[in-house]
Amino acid sequence: MDNGGQNRSAKLVMVRHGESHGNVGQRLETRVPGPHLTDHGAAQAARFGAAVTGSPRLFCSAASRARQTAEQIESVVGGPVTVLAGVHEVQAGDFEGLESDAAHQAFHQTYQRWHHGELDVAVPGGEAGKDVLDRFLPVLEDLRVRYLTPDARTDVVLVSHGMAMRLAAGAIGGVPTAFAAGTRLDFTQTIELTPRYGPAAQFLGWACTRWGHHVPPFGDIVT
């Protein structure tokens, strides 16, 4: 992530957290605070921080794995880190704590339906897609209004979670539905969104400029 340019607009960089103990155990652990980073996950976060230039504003979700990832980045680029409510992971409901293939499949099937417009469908005992967007998107709008004005040059980094990030970016970033639904993020990969402004600083929407290893046009699907 390059934050050093003086003649470009600032952007929102959403970062998936580093590897957690829940990821290693393949458990559906979505409740806050949730599992901590592994040593490998902490190293991933530190490497991400080392690749950042400049001094972005740094935010994270309240989940332990996101907070620890942000703290590792902060140790490299400086801080402070601000914890934000509303940007935690999609809640697994009745599947929380389960490791079985059947639980993972059922959870992800509901998630895929959200990407294809069925936002009122809920995970059993958990959230509907609309619930996730209703808590996540207002946070992004607040960050835009506060820190990503037309003349801003300092990026905003938000450490969050893969499924929630993808759903939010798919809803506002102008990427194809199939791409957003099918293209996962590895640990500490990013989705980058740039606000677009028209005359008189009118906000025109977000443009997705990076999704993991991919840049526009987003035609391929990586599962």
**What are the pLDDT digits (tens) for 9-31?**
899 999 999 999 999 999 999 99
Average pLDDT over residues 118-133: 97
Dump pLDDT digits (tens) for 50-94: 999 889 999 999 999 999 999 999 999 988 999 999 999 999 999
Question: Would you kindly state where each structural domain of the chain is located, as residue ranges?
Answer: 12-91+137-211
pLDDT averaged over every residue in the chain = 94
Look up the pTM and report it. Answer: 0.94
H/E element holding 181?
A: helix 177-182
Helix (H) or strand (E) holding 53: none
Domain 12-91+137-211 of CATH type 3.40.50.1240? yes
**For residue 199, which amino acid is it?**
P
Angle at which helices 101-115 and 162-172 cross, to 10°:
20
